[in-house]
Structure 1
Amino acid sequence: MSNEESRNSLADQAAAWVPPWQRPTPPRNTPAPPREEEPETAAPPAAPPVAEIAEAVDTQAAPGDAAAEGAAARVPRKQPAPRRRVTAAPEPPPELDEAELRGALEAILLVVDEPVAETTLAEVLEQPAARVGAMLDQIAAGYTASGHGFELRRAAGGWRLYTRPEYAGYVERFVLDGQSVRLTQAALETLAVVAYKQPVTRSRISAIRGVNCDGVIRTLVTRGLVEECGSEPESGAFLYRTTILFLEKLGLNSVDELPPLAPFLPDDVEELSDVTR
């Protein structure tokens, strides 16, 4: 192509060029030229709730991780409410009515083999000791008023049922049946000396009776009527006293209830005492 032809072609193109604002608008139903599709971007994930963040920080943070500890400190955590320990108060023992308390005491007193204290009965029945003592007094007064062949009385610091003295002959014939083993006169005298002079040594007993009483003392100890209770400070000799069995057999609450000895002593007892010393 010559230079002239090239210039004519450029001139034709310039003459045929139409500015954009003068170009005709394409019809609306004309499909728009396809645009390059932009790559889809994923939507940002929804923020987890505060409780889940705190839980994740607690479970994922390693010990000593300052960033994790700071995040956990910034996120408030719901603390569980402290549990209140409720301790049930012990239930008080049921209070027995008068008839049941009376029957329970009578049943126990029928099977005891030695006097039983009020405190022991109160512990067994789970009742106040004052109430048990008042009921025992009431039972004893009722037996006496009704004229029963037995009675309830205090003995050796406790309570026990005993036969009445007026029926002792019948009880003796039934129990002993002519085969009783009674204490000898020497044993009875020695037991009386121990009862009124206790605590007393064997030498003192022998001096009062005027005979050696070693064998009799051994018999009384074997029977459970006398027991050792220490030794004399001056001589080191053993001291003897009566036992609870002795009080039980005589139906006494203490040795203070022994009858006075003065009416049975001779007039020259002081002279005899000085001679034995």
Structure 2
Amino acid sequence: MTAQELDLRGALEAVLMVVDEPATVEHLAKVLERAPREVASALAALADEYTAQRRGFELREVAGGWRFYTRPAYAAAVEAFVLDGQQARLTQAALETLAVVAYRQPVSRSRVSAVRGVNCDGVMRTLLQRGLVAEAGTEPETGAILYRTTNYFLERMGLRGLDELPELAPFLPEADAIEAETQEGVPSFDPDAPDTDEDDKTTEL
């Protein structure tokens, strides 16, 4: 290995230590003033090296970029240290809502409510606050705000992109046919309003 290769690996390690979201090869190449193919090769070599050495961390490509993660084999130790035995997981209601957004995006809140068959204001607010979903413009016909999943969602799911989602969309009911029936009972979404989602009251974190 040449000194130039060692220098690139060291620079990548230093930069990746401080990123707060996955960094793309293109961005790293621009910052380090190196060719993208050199950066991609160095990242793959580092990832293989950490795995071979059974380090407590690993370098993975997720959500279109690279970032350090703790190795799954040591998840129990990390959880004990960070959470001190307390769990911080999404509720069933939030998981169901997130699944609808993931497979129907971009999608309005009323359409998500139609698919779930229950008002989802509370859980949508939770997903927004946690950075798992974000606004994605408005629906041309109604002006309703549309929502999509974020890169943070991909990162948490360990996916490179939405094309890696399991084939599930065909099993979700179409919201168009039932939205008209539920629309009158679904109030407009106010991000600052108190949480009123009945199936989320007792379990939402």
Pick the TM interval, shorter chain. 0.7 to 0.9
1:18 equivalent in structure 2: none
Q: Does 1:100 align with 2:11?
A: no
Name structure 1 gaps, 5 residues minimum. 1-94
Counterpart mapping for 1:123-272 below 5 A: 123-261=30-168
Look up the equivalent residue of 2:137 and give its one-letter code: G
For residue 178 of structure 1, report the CA deviation from its aligned partner: 2.6
Name structure 2 gaps, 5 residues minimum. 180-205
2:17 equivalent in structure 1: 110
TM-score by length of 1: 0.58
Alpha-carbon distance in 2 for matches of 1:247, 1:171: 21
Structure scoring higher RCO (CA < 8 A, sep ≥ 6) equals 2
- Secondary structure of residue in 1 paired with 2:45: helix
2:187 equivalent in structure 1: none
TM-score by length of 2: 0.77
For residue 200 of structure 1, report the CA deviation from its aligned partner: 0.7
For residue 274 of structure 1, report the CA deviation from its aligned partner: 8.3
Look up the equivalent residue of 1:201 and give its one-letter code: S
For residue 259 of structure 1, report the CA deviation from its aligned partner: 2.5
1:123-174 residue CA offsets vs partner (Å, 9 max, x unmatched):
2222112111111111112222332232211112210011222322222122
How many residues get paired? 178
Alpha-carbon distance in 2 for matches of 1:144, 1:185: 34
For residue 204 of structure 1, report the CA deviation from its aligned partner: 1.0
- Secondary structure of residue in 2 paired with 1:182: coil
Check 1:262–1:213 CA distance in 2 against 1; reply closer, same or farther (3 A cut).
Answer: closer
Alpha-carbon distance in 2 for matches of 1:100, 1:275: 59
For residue 275 of structure 1, report the CA deviation from its aligned partner: 6.8
Q: Does 1:121 align with 2:17?
A: no
- Secondary structure of residue in 1 paired with 2:126: helix
Q: Is the 8 A contact 2:63 2:161 kept in 1?
A: yes
2:196 equivalent in structure 1: none
- Secondary structure of residue in 1 paired with 2:17: helix
- Secondary structure of residue in 1 paired with 2:147: strand
